[in-house]
Amino acid sequence: MNINDKLKEYIEGNIFTSYERNDEGHNLKHIKYVIDRSLKFASTIENINYDMVYTIAAYHDIGHYIDAKNHEKVSADMLLNDKKLRDFFTKEEIQIMSEAVYDHRASMEGEPRSIYGKIVSSADRNVLIEEPLRRTYSYRLEHNPDDTLDSIIEESRIHLVNKFGKKGYASEKMYFEDLDYKKFLEDISALTSDKELFRKKYLETNGINDNLDGKIKVKELKRI
Residues contacting residue 31 through CB under 8 Å, at least 6 positions apart: 16, 19, 57, 58, 60, 61
What is the band of 114 on the pLDDT scale with cuts at 50, 70, 90?
A: very high
Residue 82 to residue 58: CA distance in whole angstroms: 13
Asked if residues 10 and 84 have their Cβ atoms less than 8 Å apart, the reply is: yes
**According to the model, what pLDDT value does residue 103 have?**
96
**According to the model, what pLDDT value does residue 222 have?**
65
Q: Model confidence over 63-94: pLDDT tens digits?
A: 999 998 899 999 999 999 999 999 999 999 99
Which residue type, as a one-letter code, is found at position 162?
N
Q: Classify the C-alpha dihedral 18-219-209-149 as positive or negative.
A: negative
Q: Model confidence over 159-216: pLDDT tens digits?
A: 999 999 988 888 877 899 999 999 999 999 999 999 999 999 999 999 999 888 888 9
DSSP string, 178-199: -HHHHHHHHHHHHHHT-HHHHH
Q: Is 106 helix (H, G, I), strand (E, B) or coil?
A: coil
Q: Which part of the chain has CATH 1.10.3210.10?
A: 5-123
**According to the model, what pLDDT value does residue 223 have?**
56
**According to the model, what pLDDT value does residue 220 have?**
83
Asked if residues 131 and 123 have their Cβ atoms less than 8 Å apart, the reply is: no
Instruction: Assess if CATH 1.10.3210.10 describes domain 5-123.
Output: yes
